Structure 1
Amino acid sequence: MTEGTGRRAGDLPDDLTDVEAGMWQAFRNGSVYDLRAGDAAVDDPHGDRPWGPERSVRARVVCWLLLDGPPALAGRVSSLKLTGLRITGPLDLAGGTVVPFVEMKGCRFEEEVLLPEARFTTLRLVDCAVPRLEAARVQTEGDLHLPRCRFRRGMRLTDAQIGTDLLLNQAVVHRDRAGRSLAADGLAVGQDLQAELLQAYGEVSLRSAKIGVSLSLRGARLAGPYTRYALNAPQLTVERTLYLTPAGLGSPMMSGVTPARGTRIQHVECEGGVRLDDGRFGDAVDLEGARFVLGDEQELSLRRVQTPELRFLGERPGRGKVVLSGAKIETLVDRADSWPGPGQLHMGGFTYENLVPQGPFPLAERLQWVAAATAEFNPEPYERLAAVLKESGEDEDAREVLLAKHRRRRETLPLASKLWGYLQDVTVAYGYRPGRAAVWMAVLWAAGSLAFAHAGRPPAASGDQHPHWNPALYALDLLLPVVDFGQASQWQLSGGWQWLAAALVLLGWTLATTVAAGATRLLRRN
């Protein structure tokens, strides 16, 4: 007998309706309690067809079963498996410990589901209509499944601890009063968080969340028109990969895999800012095909992110900014048409070790990529790109990048320094084209030799003691500042020829100075 009731354990309470009595017996038997009418339009929990008393149970009876339900029948395991039921009143399990397995499919909740600090083994709500889910600090030993559910006023999973997987595939979540659709700061998931084809009409907040395996937002549509961010997930930790990639449509078997060729797909779309600052990702951040619709003041922010691989293969944002400042990446996989234009890209302190472009990405466009990230001159992005190219054996491209750095710096200098920079560029390309010095020397030598050959022999500077007149050696003696061929000091020119000689001396010293400056720069770099 149950104390104080005059009933034996397992007996039906007197105040249950016929529908609730059927649910009571199904719970003891561990069987599915299915009250669907067999008409898809009528059975749709998200439709407008009314569900009457013939398929309604009170939420407090459901709570009674889960918290202090009757024992199972002999040889059975008690569990609550409901399909097509209407639950009236708030389902309040706050602080409770629920031992039985719970699975509700196609159910309609009239009021909020309250699960703060509750404990479950496994909880599955599939294709249910829920006004709001309050589940802060909820704990499950196994899965928490919420696929295809619709939440009219958002859901809260702050500091929740999910033992294995959290499933939100194809869920539709509207905003709460604060403009958030999913508030899950501090969430901890033991294995995967799958939110593929999720539709969120408010901010998705995953600040400081920890995911034990992968976080999949394949094909998700995130819109944050009421807050600054559509996805707000600073300090997010994902042990393997964050997927913001396409999802296949029409087949539940496509979940968690890359869609096969020919499959109809849906790309990720984020309407609002995305913040992944200080995130840690064990394998990769994959943005292939993602579309970011940003306002002028909104950002796709990856500040100080650390991951072995960043796959930046989404559509080019038309507005807003992409910020990679301080990020540390081992391999950057990208496309030329994925990056935004000048003023929209920030890469101060961004480091990467390897570049793997997908499709054509010529050096000229790579230099435009760096220039787009440096509205004001900053040598760091140029030096990082040059170091990566040199490490991969592309020495010529690395020199071109460093040359572009000096040309960009030249535009910030005062006039005198700018003119000196132009001279170094034309003569020896700031030391990165030392062969140009020999070309200039040969041109000046040939021009001087031809000119002096037409001048005739000038008078000797010191009477009869002089070498044989040699126009070629004379021109070379003027051009080389240090070497003395015994010609320049032995002949006395006058008029225009004297001016030509002075010009060759000046050009020789200028050429020697630029060569020395370039050589010094190269030695310092090496």
Structure 2
Amino acid sequence: MTERVGPGGAGPPEHLTAPEAGMWQAFRDGTVYDLSSGDTVVDDPHGGHPWGPERTVRARVVCWLLLDGPPALAGRVSSLKLAGVQISGALDLAGGIVVPYVEMRACRFERDVLLPEARFTTVRMVDCSIPRLEAARLHTEGDLHLPRCRFPGGIRLTDARIGTDLMLNQAVVHRDRSGRSLAADGMNVGQDLQAEMLESYGELSLRGATIGVSLSLRGARLVNPYTRLALNAPQLTVERSLYLTPAGVGAQARSGMTPARGTRIRRFECEGGVRLDDGRFGDAVDFEGARFTFTDEQELSLRRVQTPELRFLGERPARGRVVLSGARVVNLMDRADSWPGPGRLHMGGFAYENLVPRGPFPLALRLRWVDAASAEYNPEPYERLAAVLREGGEDEDAREVLLAKQRRRRESLPVAAKLWGYAQDWTVAYGYRPGRAAVWMAVLWAAGSLAFARGDHPPLKSGEHPAWNPALFALDLLLPVIDLGQVGFWQLRGGWQWLSAAFILLGWILATTVAAGATRTLRRT
């Protein structure tokens, strides 16, 4: 833009309106140019009260100041600081290099802000009304602050490079024509992305984005009734933590901090699917207090996520699925009432090293958690849980888990194998309770000794038999292979023959189940 300046080059260019001339002078002086009326209702940039020409500057004048503005006054640093100003026309800085510091508070833009491939030092737009922010491949050396701004047409930050922090706290963002509220695929943020108490109406897309420190969605509300996903962030990399947790509300609340006890909070809420597949998180993924509202087709997808700690401490979703297939975590911090029910939890290939339950989580509920992980029998979740319990020194609980695995497997077997499974379960609990075999043997031996002591069993050959001993006879029937010298010397008639046959059969069943259990135990160790 070419304008003639005043006499001697000291004054503002000619033909500028009075508000624009004031902005020109404030730019050279580096001071705030405030056109607010002092009436909070009138000054609300999101309200319906019209702002007249006395508060309006043209977007092309703003662009001129930022791209080729006048030099600063002596001893001052030129910067654009506006408050309560209306900018008419499209603010188009596409491809431009903006050196001055930019800060706009409670301003109203009549048309879109266009910043694709522009370069800035620091940009702060606070509590502004912006129809749409188009800033693909934007580059800032410092911060990009957009707190409390409202974007009826969404935000595009695809492949943007933010030098330090990106702030979207309490912003309200609606979807664009493609259904996305925030399109930030491939974005790189040098430090924190803070979007606490953000309201997103559409798909918040962070595919392949990289966050240098933490990503905070504390107290945010993500709503997308239009498509399947409210948060679409596969291959997201966060060097520290992802927070989908409550935020403090009120004067004592501090941004970026977990609310102190007694502070009024606003929980993270999501109405729509969440996709965090293949994400990498350096410290933790935190869902404490999160509330997810899904349809039957939607899910919280954490496929192949890697993080040292997963804090699954939110509310149990009433519908939809939770998918942890292929995820790898070190510490799994959870609550019994946070997990969905049978058929809505998928954990194939989910690896964790330590369990850190928050609140009561007895083994019976933990087994239900594993049972819920697959509609059909899958040994992997049971074996993973047993291994973690064994590493923690809880060997008895580990055996109970492996026993539950065998019982679940039995349900998928044909009838004959199922009956054999019941036999192993009743006798030695599939080898995980070997003491049962001794109990069964003792009971049968005692019962047989008493029974055979009451009968009269003549010898087969007179003078060629040992002394009758009902206890040894019963034991000789029960022990396969081993010969105690009692069987084969006495005549058994009628029911006694059937009883002896039953004892022989029971002895073989006990021996076989003990052998099967011992083999399984040796294979496990």
TM-score (norm 2): 0.98
Q: CA deviation at 1:189?
A: 0.2
Which residue is 1:146 aligned to? 146
Match of 2:496 in 1: 497
Residues 152-161 or 8-17, more deviating: 8-17
Is 1:486 aligned to residue 485 of structure 2? Answer: yes
Identity score, percent: 78
Report the Cα distance in structure 1 between the residues aligned to 2:232 and 2:30, rounded to whole angstroms: 41
2:295, 2:26 → 1: CA distance? 53
Distance apart, 1:486 and its partner CA = 1.1
In the alignment, is residue 465 of structure 1 matched against residue 459 of structure 2?
A: no
Tell me, yes or no, if the aligned pair for 1:144 and 1:166 is still in contact at 8 Å.
Answer: yes
Structure 1 counterpart of 2:474, which letter?
A
The code of the aligned residue for 2:247 comes to A
CA shift digits 1:394-452 (9 cap, x unpaired): 11111111111111111111110000000000000000010000000001000000001
Cα distance between partner residues in 1 of 2:353 and 2:154: 41
Partner SS state of residue 385, structure 1? helix
> For the Cα contact (< 8 Å) 1:43–1:84, is it kept in 2?
yes
SS at match of 1:396: helix
Question: 1:179 deviation in Å?
Answer: 1.1
Q: Which runs of 4+ in 1 moved over 6 A?
A: 2-7
Superposed, which structure 2 residues align to 1:119-268 within 5 Å? 119-251=119-251, 253-268=253-268
Equivalent residues, number? 524
Paired residue type of 2:234 = P
Find the residue that maps to 2:374 and give its secondary structure.
coil
What is the SS of the residue equivalent to 1:130?
Answer: coil
- In 1: Cα distance, 2:7 partner to 2:185 partner: 46
Letter in 1 for 2:148: R
d(CA) in 1 for partners of 2:119 and 2:434? 73
Aligned twin of 2:521: 522
- Taking structure 1 as reference, are residues 144 and 496 closer, same or farther at Cα in structure 2, changes over 3 Å only? same
Contact 2:203-2:232 within 8 A present in 1 as well: yes
The answer to whether structure 1 residue 382 and structure 2 residue 376 are counterparts is no
CA distance in 2 between counterparts of 1:302 and 1:51 reads 48
Q: 1:15 maps to which residue? A: 15
Counterparts in 2 of 1:205 and 1:416: CA distance versus 1, 3 Å: same
The answer to whether 1:455 aligns with 2:455 is yes
Match of 1:415 in 2: 415
1:45 aligned onto 2:41: no
Q: What are the within-5 Å matches in structure 2 for residues 331-410 of structure 1?
A: 331-410=331-410
Q: Structure 1 pair 4/358, CA: closer, same or farther in 2 (3 Å)?
A: closer
User: Is the Cα contact below 8 Å between 1:33 and 1:81 reproduced in 2?
Assistant: yes
Work out whether residues 10 and 71 of structure 1, in 8 Å CA contact, stay in contact via their aligned partners in 2.
Answer: no
Shift of 1:11: 3.8
The alpha-carbon deviation at position 495 of structure 1 amounts to 1.7
Shift of 1:459: 1.5
Structure 2 residue 51 is the aligned partner of structure 1 residue 54: no
**Worse overlay, 495-504 or 106-115:** 495-504
State the SS of the aligned residue for 1:254.
coil
User: What's the offset of the Cα at 1:252?
Assistant: 7.2
Q: For 1:45-87, what per-residue CA distance to the aligned partner results, in whole angstroms no more than 9, with x for missing partners?
A: 1111111011110010000000000000000000000011000
| Aligned counterparts, 1:94-133, within 5 A | 94-133=94-133
Work out whether residues 103 and 124 of structure 2, in 8 Å CA contact, stay in contact via their aligned partners in 1.
Answer: yes
Three-state SS of the structure 1 residue aligned to 2:463 is: coil
Tell me by how many angstroms 1:461 deviates.
2.3
Distance 1:240 1:252 in 2: 25
Q: Distance in 1 between matches of 2:235 and 2:272?
A: 19
How far 1:489 moved relative to its partner?
A: 2.3
SS of corresponding position for 2:455: coil
Equivalent residues of 1:122, 1:141 under 8 A apart? yes
- For 2:344 and 2:333, the matched residues in 1 are separated by 19
Q: What's the C-alpha RMSD, in Å, of the aligned pairs? A: 1.3
Residues 507 and 386 (structure 1 numbering): CA distance in 2 closer, same or farther, change over 3 Å?
Answer: same
Aligned equivalents of 1:80, 1:3: Cα separation in 2: 19
Structure-1 separation of matches of 2:60 and 2:36: 22
Q: Does the 8 Å contact 1:88/1:111 carry over to 2?
A: yes
Measure the CA separation in 2 of the matches of 1:65 and 1:354: 58
Letter in 1 for 2:158: T
Verify the 8 A CA contact 2:5 2:14 in the aligned structure 1: no
Q: Deviations over 1:266-307 (max 9, x none)?
A: 000010000000000000000000011011111100000000
The answer to whether the 8 A contact 2:332-2:354 is kept is yes
| Cα distance in 2 between the residues matched to 1:472 and 1:264 | 76
SS of the aligned residue for 1:352 comes to strand
Distance 1:207 1:9 in 2: 50
SS of equivalent to 2:95 = coil
Q: CA deviation at 1:501?
A: 1.1
1:21 aligned counterpart, secondary structure = helix
Q: Deviations over 1:326-347 (max 9, x none)?
A: 0001110001110001111111
Query: What is the CA deviation profile of residues 66-112 of structure 1, one whole-angstrom value per residue up to 9, with x for unaligned ones?
Result: 00000000000000000110000000000000000000000000110
Alignment check: 8 A CA contact 2:192 2:215 kept: yes
The structure-2 alpha-carbon separation of the partners of 1:3 and 1:25, relative to structure 1 and needing over 3 Å to count, comes to: closer
How far apart, in 2, do the equivalents of 1:243 and 1:388 lie?
26
Q: Aligned-pair distance for 1:154?
A: 0.4
Q: SS in structure 1 opposite 2:66?
A: helix
Q: Which amino acid aligns with 2:159?
A: D
Q: Distance in 2 between matches of 1:374 and 1:172?
A: 39
1:6 Cα deviation from its structure 2 partner:
9.1
- Per the TM alignment, residue 4 of structure 1 is displaced from its structure 2 partner at its CA by 9.0
Farther off after superposition, 484-493 or 217-226: 484-493
Structure 2 counterpart of 1:78, one-letter code:
S
Mark the CA change 1:309 to 1:415 in structure 2 (over 3 Å): closer, same or farther: same
Matching residue's letter, 1:500: L
Structure 1 residue aligned with 2:441:
441
The answer to whether the Cα contact below 8 Å between 2:327 and 2:351 also exists between their aligned partners in 1 is yes
When residues 252 and 19 of structure 1 are mapped into structure 2, their CA distance, relative to the original with a 3 A threshold, is: farther
Residue 272 of structure 2 corresponds to: 272
